[in-house]
Structure 1
Amino acid sequence: MRWYNFFHIYQPPAWDEAIIRRVADESYRPVLKILEDHSSLRITMNITGALVEQLLALGMSDIVNRYRVLIHRGQVELVGSAMYHPILPLLPVEEARRQIELQTTLYRQTFGPEYSPQGFYCPEMAYDPHLDGLLLELGYTWVILDEISANGEIGTAPIDRPWILPSGLRAVFRNRHISDYLSFSSDLANPADGLRAIKEDSRGHEVLITAMDGENLGHHRHGVERLWEFLATYPGIETETLSTLAKQPGIRGQRLLSGSWSSQPADVARGIPFALWDHPENPIHQLQWELTRLIVRTVGECERDPNYHTVRHLVDRTLASDRYWWASASPWWDMAIVIRETQKLADAITPMTSVPPATRSAIEQLVQRITTTVELWERTGLAHKRQHDYLLGTGDVRFMAGGQVAS
């Protein structure tokens, strides 16, 4: 069996130093050691630019340097992505372009000027067909997606070879069932059960494509890193980088659907492909995006402001997906993070001297409305009810920082 592993590692901009150090010790360094101990292992990954910046700033350059060695050795293949982990389909195209180019610039500075990836990862695998043109224009030839974007379903699309899309872009799809099984529900005390699950999956016993957050290995769920090592080095299993699959003869595919690796079939069918970040029935999300659009528009209108470049950098960082995710209550919810990150977004334009008073007032009002609504959800138990209903309805099992998220 050929196994194509994709890992995405990320920490939000300006994140808690203690958390980053814990993740590094529980996940990043143990996985690096597995790769160093087994020179035949091959993986494809995205190391988000926001994480690279923080690792270097916090004196953890050993992680970056070890990855650089593995990249030059051919064991690790990097893809392109967006610098601060925004949900690309929800941004204006020029903002999406900027985020992608920021990461490319940082990667070339960090990993070498020869960095020129062919593959691309949309943060959260949040994809919409309108991104095809931008990715092709920027030189990408393939994108890794969740299988739900193939036909709106899970477990039915042929995903053992690349799809050639009408735009000319190629797509490779992850096997959601096996990816999530390994991350969240595998029997860590019985590694052979993982072999059984792979063999019993009708689409994964010859060619298997998995993709997951790299932090699932050792941080979010302790022991997954050891299971992965057992499976990836098991006799008869060969690991390859995704680019080797993407270059193979493909099948002509239809126009894909918008979706992410968290999208549920019912949400895609209802036209809500990015429900964890922009749900039309979540008033917090709607207010958040009203504020985001206002901030982005304001910065764009003030390019001649003497503090434009400082503010532009601050806004780039605040477009990260996390504030919307933590406001979803599906099942993720954290009142303090949502309020704090909302204030950061509003504060980003404070240094600008050319922002009209009416715009500043509108921003302040939106911040207050978001804060009031978030506090109401917390106080009345509405957030917890939404969490409970989500977990009950989907049957999902999720882990965060070593513990299971309970309904």
Structure 2
Amino acid sequence: MRTPVRVAAAAVVVALAAGCSVGPASDRAAREGVVPAGNDGTGGGDSPEGDDAGGTGGGTIPEPTDSPEPTEAPEPPPEPAPATGTATVAERLPAGADASCCLVALPDGSVLTGSADGGVIQRVTAEGTVTPVGTVNGATALLGLAVEPGFDPSDSGWLYLSYAQGSSARVARLTYYGANDPGEQLGSATDALVTGIPLGSGRDGGALGFGPDGMLYVGTGDAGVAAQATDPESYAGKILRMQPDGRVPADNPQEGSLVYASGHGDVTGFAFDALDRLWAVDAGGADGVELNSIAPGGDYAAMPPVHTWPEPFTPGTLAFTAGSLWLPAAGDPGLWRVPLNGTELTADPQLLLADEGLTAPSAAQPGPDGDGGLWLLDGGTGDLLRTDVS
């Protein structure tokens, strides 16, 4: 039975760059205190020693100095989102790849998409030009896709994936070579960060993305075994948090563990709001599809969700823009608008775009124009919809 306690997510203060959730440069890991991840990933590199602390010595009275500038008052919290809003399809780009699962918006206005039934990745420009990027070796199904903070599609960088390989899933990164010919832009060697994530019963999770703190977050499913979601030794039914190279951040809830939150059934998407609070959608909730405000160390088998959709549908990834969360929905195709008021909702979610002929909306990402723009991926056709939202 769920305990009637509502937990608010912790906030972290970091800058965001246009197009995707980003944080500090990817070499931040070398400057953080970390402990080994204890998994099969490679990651590593010793952290550099910190600077010596300097002292002023004693015995001399310093000259008076000007008073320090007063500390700026914190910015007021954002206004609650209006109870109702709008979503209008501004443009539809036929990307030409069905069974698409994953979407990453890039700073130059293009996007990367991935195939759900294999490891094929392609790039779609803002003008609708589609070019192949490459294929992930050994991937039987792609579950999630992300790029490192500060990613430049014209240069080299890390491409992050969660994908099925046989009976389990893994999180890995590959080098992306932007200057290579189309179809040859993925490195052949995968750097495995986490392996052995349980799969099964269609509850496989796969949400993947960087937070505003520069850390990589991963959502998993319980593989149809609810007990695994609360087992601290299992990666099933969890939200994991790690350094970009797979190591455990020193400030994770449990020392030496990648587990950030537990007790989930099937985490298909998450997003950070204007105050950098983490929200997650769980397709395997006890009473339907759940929306949770995530607190570090929280056990969501024992906490009530912020909202539950009791009617069955297949949720996609989660996005935040224009003061609201946006959740693609397959089954009864459309786009849910979830207006936020802190860690509560202004009003019940609103289903939009139900009359736009969508087949299986699977992913959403804020567009390069900031608030008011959203990329929506129709997983059934592979079409990309540039959508204006409010």
Scaled to the shorter chain, the TM-score interval is: under 0.3
Q: Counting helix residues as a fraction of each chain, which structure ranks higher? A: 1
TM-score, normalised to structure 2's length? 0.28
